[in-house]
Amino acid sequence: MFDPKELPVEMVQILDENGNGDEAKIAAFSDEWLLDAYRAMRRARVVDERLLRMQRQGRIGTYAPFSGQEAAQIGSVLALQKDDWIFPSYREVAVCLTHGMPLEQFFHYVRGRLSGKRMPEELNIFPTQIIIAAQTLHAVGCAWATKLKGESHVSVAYFGDGATSEGDFHEAMNFAAVYNVPVIFFCQNNQYAISVPYAKQTASRTIAQKALAYGMKGVLVDGNDVLAVYETMKQAVEAARRGEGPMLIEALTYRLGPHTTADDPTKYRHPEEVETWRRKDPLHRLRVLLERRGLWTDAKEEEFVAKVNEEVTAAYEAAVASESGSIADVFDYVYSEAPKLLAEQKEEVIRRKQAKEVK
């Protein structure tokens, strides 16, 4: 008899919430890497806080904050190569920015511009996926194509714990394992699928152990430890690139803010719970380590935050200044070659627009 309660699952951790840990493993990270990781995380936090305020001011549309999940996002994407493929959900802003997406591009997206969903050609980032877990299937398809073409790219599907309750997730896992494709399923378990807590989604102690049912490896990592996330992701990516198949990574973390700006988390979460996780803040633990090494100070922090705020303001103003287009553009972003009926509809829209302008 197989008893799931006896399944041993240990969480990978290098740096604890107080900035302490295995000194030998910590020593493997250079000062330069630690600084780059912290700057990326701090930049992400500033961007997230500014976007939240901008939404409240009516300057952008509905937004899904990610503060608290910076280590999971930054640590994982730093382990990728530039030509690896990313399949994000609506909360992977830090992932996309770190992989090269211009901040101005994201402002187009949150301001409802069609151009905001069209990634620059040189970026291997699929458009943001709103449908829960749908991107897991797309990532598997891309990885399958990579394998058939003999390329070395790795595909990464990013999703939350709520996505593991969707059929798409299980179908994607099964296909990925059966066809042994180079894809990483990266789950940020932030404890809530909107207002539904993890305990009401699954009876599994972890999401990572679900990998066993599909014949692939699974690992649980401290999602607030950027060092552990990076090392875990690096091993998974290297294995996938060697043709050793897919892997499921569960990064245990927490969403400090609301699910989206349309959500009120105080309706379903206790303040004590939020404070408990706030003490595990991924930025705090890394900053403690940097200060201990003499690499970071309050002055550097203030200077860096000011610089990022200037970057956000400039990107927003550039996006507002460059916004253009019309409803006719809707017809250009679905097919590489528009079907006859669609082309006729676009012509009709343009004619009506021109007629209206003449009046």
Active site residues: 255, 259, 268
State the Cα–Cα distance between residues 106 and 123, nearest whole angstrom.
Answer: 13
Cβ proximity of 9 and 209 under 8 Å? yes
- Side chain identity at 305, as an amino acid letter? V
State the Cα–Cα distance between residues 115 and 139, nearest whole angstrom.
Answer: 22
Cβ neighbours around 293 below 10 Å, total: 12
Which parts of the chain are beta strand (E)? 11-12, 85-87, 155-160, 183-189, 192-193, 196-197, 217-222, 247-252
Closest by CA position to 10, among listed 279, 205, 188? 205
Closest by CA position to 99, among listed 129, 117, 119? 119
Closest by CA position to 259, among listed 101, 63, 82? 63
State the Cα–Cα distance between residues 332 and 113, nearest whole angstrom.
Answer: 13
- Side chain identity at 179, as an amino acid letter? Y
